[in-house]
A and B are shown apart, each in its own frame.
Chain A
Amino acid sequence: MSMPFYVSPEQIMKDKSDFARKGIARGRSVLAMQYADGIVFVGENPNGALHKISEIYDRIAFAAVGKYNEFENLRVGGVRYADTRGYQYDRRDVTSRGLANIYAQTLGTIFTESGKPYEVELVVAEVGDNQAEDQMYRLTYDGSVAEEHGFIVMGGNSDPIASYVRERHDPKASLATALKLSVAALVQPVTDGSEARTIAGDDLEAAVLDRTRPRRAFKRLVGAPLQKLLEAKK
């Protein structure tokens, strides 16, 4: 009987991490950002039918980068979890904290127990009655979870985008301003110094969690209303 080669746990985890990071880095970035009335999500997504940004519950949204079938799986699980809890208890008992926890446990288990980790990175965000009560969680492929404030950038070219936004982000800005900043950030050149790109309007996926909307805060921004916001002066 042959003995399997010994591979240290450190090496296994490192290989899995490298694999997941590479997968995530291949995709286009998605950005979530606080503005005066809520949280805006913007991503580059040439595929209009397969969303990276979606509604989970009344005040909670989900955004993801990476492998579509994997984060779609998690999205469906999240909607089912939220609707079941809301039906079993009350709509107010569905929280982004609970959902982030579930996602963290799920991603963590998949990372350690299965041969191939999920190549995804997620944001779970919730708008509160005022900006201080907004919550944004970033979840990575290994089940790490971090609560962040202001904005979150995920996906391929995230470092230049994040530093561009960090210098300019204003949480009290209007939706139009936040949206324009997001689009400007997404076209930031990769660190190798190449030119900034442009994104065609059709390739943009955008949505908001707007705290001023009754009950369901999530709204997709598409077509003419999106164009109007992008062209608005201030």
Chain B
Amino acid sequence: MAEVPGLHGRLPAHFTTPGTSSFADFLGVAAPDLLPSRRRDLPAGLIEAPHGTTIVAVTHSNGVIMAGDRRATMGNIIAQRDIEKVFPADEYSCVGIAGTAGLAIEMVRLFQVELEHYEKLEGATLSLEGKANRLSTMIRGNLGMAMQGLAVVPLFAGYDLDMGAGRIFSYDVTGGRYEEHSFHSVGSGSVFARSALKKQFKDDVDEAAAVRLCVDALYDAADDDSATGGPDLTRKIFPVVMTVTADGLRRIPDDEIGAVVQTVVDERMTNPGG
């Protein structure tokens, strides 16, 4: 830790050495123990840690929507009922996390700094594919943990300014990166969410319809997967929903989502299958 200066002392030479614009690469030199991928292997044995569950993403005519339920589970216990699992990555992309919550949130923090750091040093933003590839590398760095049951599986979505369209990327635990078309879902309830999306998705849905699709899909996931949280109308805990368009990223406010959730719940009163 001696390599990161406090309030006293000059900048060490590696701070001013030209070269990398990657924050993760720089940390590897300046403070490697801050990097998740440089951590020593854990002793054998299972660790109980909170897990994040279902994330869905849907492209629409102006961009892409990502939404996540609010539950984290630890075995059969609900570890947290209002966790947030969808994060802005930068102005034009967002990332949703499933898997071991602690590791995933740390990965997202590093990813956010990585993108902003590049932007500040280079004076230009990475391409959407460039961002997706950086995330890939970070997931690959977590492979050791994944082998011990602490996997992180994010879903990445953003607006591609060059193509003028919303795009979705999914990953596997080895860092494999796959572009998904129209919609995708990850996490424990993803099987059910994806089936719901598959039946309801139509080309050229608008933003409002895409939000509705996501809320419906999360409802279906919660219906059949105990680890996915349904909308909590009594506590007013609603899914986190972000939209990314040519105008940038925006988190849809809770009162708007609350109204969509209320409609979905009302309709399910008479038609539980949706």
Q: Tell me if B117 and A83 are in contact (CB < 8 A).
A: yes
Within 8 A of B (CB), among A98-118: 98, 101-103, 105-106, 108-109
Stretch of A12-20, A33-41, A74-82, A166-174 lying at the B interface: A74-82
In the complex, the number of residue pairs spanning A and B with C-beta atoms less than 8 Å apart equals 68
Q: Is the interface of A mostly helix, strand, loop or mixed?
A: helix
A105 and B10 contact, Cβ closer than 8 Å, known pairs A51-B123, A79-B120: yes
Q: Tell me if B109 and A76 are in contact (CB < 8 A).
A: no
CA distance A55 to B119 in the complex (A): 10
A109 and B10 contact, Cβ closer than 8 Å, known pairs A73-B16, A87-B110: yes
CB of B47, distance to nearest CB on chain A (Å): 24
Q: Tell me if A105 and B8 are in contact (CB < 8 A).
A: yes
Closest to B9 in A: A105
Instruction: Write the B106-126 contact mask toward A (1 if CB under 8 angstroms, else 0).
Output: 000110010011001101000
Instruction: Write the A47-80 contact mask toward B (1 if CB under 8 angstroms, else 0).
Output: 0010100111000000000000000011011011
Decide yes or no whether B15 CB sits under 8 A from chain A: yes
Within 8 A of A (CB), among B122-163: 123
CA distance A55 to B117 in the complex (A): 10
Task: Please give, as numbers and ranges, the residues of chain A lying within 8 Å of B31 by CB-CB distance.
Answer: 84, 88
Q: Tell me if B10 and A79 are in contact (CB < 8 A).
A: no
Instruction: Write the B4-43 contact mask toward A (1 if CB under 8 angstroms, else 0).
Output: 1101111100011010000100110011001000000000
Q: Of B5, B9, B27, B113, which is in contact with the most chain A CB atoms at under 10 Å from its CB?
A: B5
Q: Tell me if A80 and B109 are in contact (CB < 8 A).
A: no
Task: Please give, as numbers and ranges, the residues of chain B lying within 8 Å of A180 by CB-CB distance.
Answer: none
Decide yes or no whether A27 CB sits under 8 A from chain B: no
Decide yes or no whether A219 CB sits under 8 A from chain B: no
Q: Tell me if B34 and A88 are in contact (CB < 8 A).
A: yes
Task: Please give, as numbers and ranges, the residues of chain B lying within 8 Å of A101 by CB-CB distance.
Answer: 7-8
Q: Tell me if A56 and B120 are in contact (CB < 8 A).
A: yes
Task: Please give, as numbers and ranges, the residues of chain A lying within 8 Å of B110 by CB-CB distance.
Answer: 87
- Pick the contact of B18: A73, A85, A98, A106 (CB < 8 A): A73
- Pick the contact of A54: B18, B116, B120 (CB < 8 A): B120
Query: Size of chain A's interface in residues, with CB distance under 8 A?
Result: 26
A87 and B4 contact, Cβ closer than 8 Å, known pairs A79-B121, A105-B9, A105-B10: no
Decide yes or no whether A86 CB sits under 8 A from chain B: yes
Q: Tell me if B11 and A102 are in contact (CB < 8 A).
A: yes
A83 and B15 contact, Cβ closer than 8 Å, known pairs A88-B31, A102-B5: no
CB of B20, distance to nearest CB on chain A (Å): 10
Task: Please give, as numbers and ranges, the residues of chain A lying within 8 Å of B27 by CB-CB distance.
Answer: 84, 87
Q: Tell me if B18 and A76 are in contact (CB < 8 A).
A: yes
Instruction: Write the A127-164 contact mask toward B (1 if CB under 8 angstroms, else 0).
Output: 00000000000000000000000000000000000000
Q: Tell me if A81 and B11 are in contact (CB < 8 A).
A: yes
Task: Please give, as numbers and ranges, the residues of chain A lying within 8 Å of B23 by CB-CB distance.
Answer: 80, 83, 87
Q: Tell me if B113 and A83 are in contact (CB < 8 A).
A: yes
A87 and B120 contact, Cβ closer than 8 Å, known pairs A77-B15, A101-B7, A105-B10: no
CA distance A73 to B10 in the complex (A): 13
Q: Tell me if B7 and A98 are in contact (CB < 8 A).
A: yes
CA distance A214 to B112 in the complex (A): 16
Q: Tell me if B16 and A77 are in contact (CB < 8 A).
A: yes
CA distance A119 to B116 in the complex (A): 29
Task: Please give, as numbers and ranges, the residues of chain B lying within 8 Å of A73 by CB-CB distance.
Answer: 16, 18
Q: What are 30 contact pairs spanning A and B, CB under 8 A? A: A54-B123, A56-B120, A73-B16, A74-B11, A76-B15, A76-B18, A76-B121, A79-B117, A79-B120, A79-B121, A80-B23, A80-B26, A80-B117, A81-B5, A83-B113, A83-B117, A86-B113, A87-B27, A87-B109, A88-B31, A88-B34, A101-B7, A102-B7, A102-B9, A102-B10, A105-B8, A105-B10, A105-B11, A106-B16, A109-B10
